[in-house]
Amino acid sequence: MTRISRVYLVAGELSGDLLGAGLMRALRARHPEVVFRGIGGPRMIAEGLDSRFPLETLSVMGLVEVIRHLPGLVRVRRILKADALNWKPDIMVGIDAPDFNLGLERKLREAGVTTAHYVSPSVWAWRQGRVKGIARSVDAIMTFLPFEAAFYAQHRVPVAFVGHPLADEFPLINDRAGTRAQLGLPAGGPLLAVLPGSRANEIRFLGAIFLDTVERLCQAYPALSVVIPAATSQRRQELDTLLASRPALAGHVTLLDGQAREAMVASDLVLLASGTAALEAMLCHRPIVVAYRMAAATHWLAKRLVKTPWISLPNLIARETLVPELIQEKANPATIAGYLATLLDDGPGREVLESRFAEMHAGLQRDASRRAAETIESLVAGKPLPVSVAPERAEEVAP
């Protein structure tokens, strides 16, 4: 096995810091003398990263007032390039933050440094022409999801499907009854988990619609219990305000502070806004209805830019519609309640979906950090990448 002694890592936000820390542990388990340098947050620093800038440097500059901060962003990229070339790493790995990292990766690769990118940009969904720039920037890209790997294989970009770190976190067998007891929820009867989103705009667009939906369902199913995990204290206040005008829900709804995963495990089905929560619900093996509203101008633009027939990760992974996706006008209480009622009435159908989601979960549970470390070893050694995607899957993601 080729010895790896120096790895340059650049993460741009807290999620990347978590991924980077896992990757560092996996690499150190295989190469005890390896040292790390670049940019990371508290988890990566705790694993031994020599961070040249605070993590917030890229978090802020990459996401807030980008134009105003662009000169500073260019300066940081220039400093990191010089620092990496002087340090002479075996490989540089950019972790997410594609707007910053892909440019740095390209400059380093042109200077002779082996580069990889961990976490695929959503290039398969919009601005697909970016794949040409990615091909010039990296020696390989490491993806979480099989359809992403298929897309890169189709475009002849070296790729390794390493699995999804979230799938590694969630157990393949979960305890619905035990989790209900833990949360103080009713042991019997149907339970619906409602996740209206973590952003203020999501509560503004969806909060009342979701609670009106719950009101309809509780009228039709008097034994229905509902659990709503509030993502933050501010979201809790907003939900409390909305519930105050719906006294009929007082005996049905339990609000939680956080604990979204536990709420989904305890439930029989889940209503949520699109996003990572849809993947988490799938990893809890619970039937899902996705509903989402956004500003009209945003929706108009998204319809013209997005190239995929689905927006939720369970459907994208399955390459078929397993989860109803109700967008804009379709995200209304009557329609949402209709889909949820169908699931409530169809116990065998729910069991089939739970089984399918468990199979999909197992397919994503690949020990992502270890596989990413193995991919880095292959790149440094100049060996073929680990087998990652069946070639026939590539045609399924053709634009």
User: Beta partners for 141?
Assistant: 117, 159
Distance CA(333)–CA(209), nearest Å, equals 6
The residue whose two tokens read 């667009």 is 205
Strands (DSSP E) along the chain, which ranges? 6-11, 35-39, 49-53, 91-95, 115-118, 140-143, 159-161, 191-195, 225-230, 253-257, 269-272, 288-292, 325-327
For tokens 């020599």, what's the residue? 50
Per residue in 320-352, pLDDT tens? 999 999 998 899 999 999 999 999 999 999 999
Q: Which of 34-48, 66-80, 215-229, 317-331 has the lowest mean pLDDT?
A: 66-80
Q: Residue 375: is it exposed, middle or buried by C-beta count within 10 angstroms (0-12/13-18/19+)?
A: buried
Provide the pLDDT for residue 305.
65
Is the four-CA dihedral 193, 194, 200, 201 of positive or negative sign?
positive
pLDDT of residue 289 exceeding 60, the answer is yes
Of the candidate ranges 150-159, 257-266, 362-371, 382-391, the one whose mean pLDDT is the lowest: 382-391
Domains of the chain: 6-163+366-397 (3.40.50.2000), 176-363 (3.40.50.2000)
Digit-coded pLDDT (tens) for 351-379: 999 999 999 999 999 999 999 999 999 99
What sign results for the dihedral spanned by CA atoms 25, 30, 33, 38? negative
Do residues 149 and 385 lie in contact, with contact meaning Cβ atoms separated by under 8 Å?
no
Cα distances (Å, whole numbers) of residue 276 to 66, 92, 226: 24, 27, 21
Residues with Cβ within 8 Å of residue 156, at least 6 apart in sequence: 135
What global pTM score does this model have? Answer: 0.83
Cβ(40)–Cβ(64) below 8 Å: no
Q: Which residues contact 285 (CB under 8 A, 6 or more apart)?
A: 174, 354, 355, 357, 358, 361
pLDDT of residue 395: 38
> For the chain, what's the residue count?
399
3-state secondary structure of 93: strand
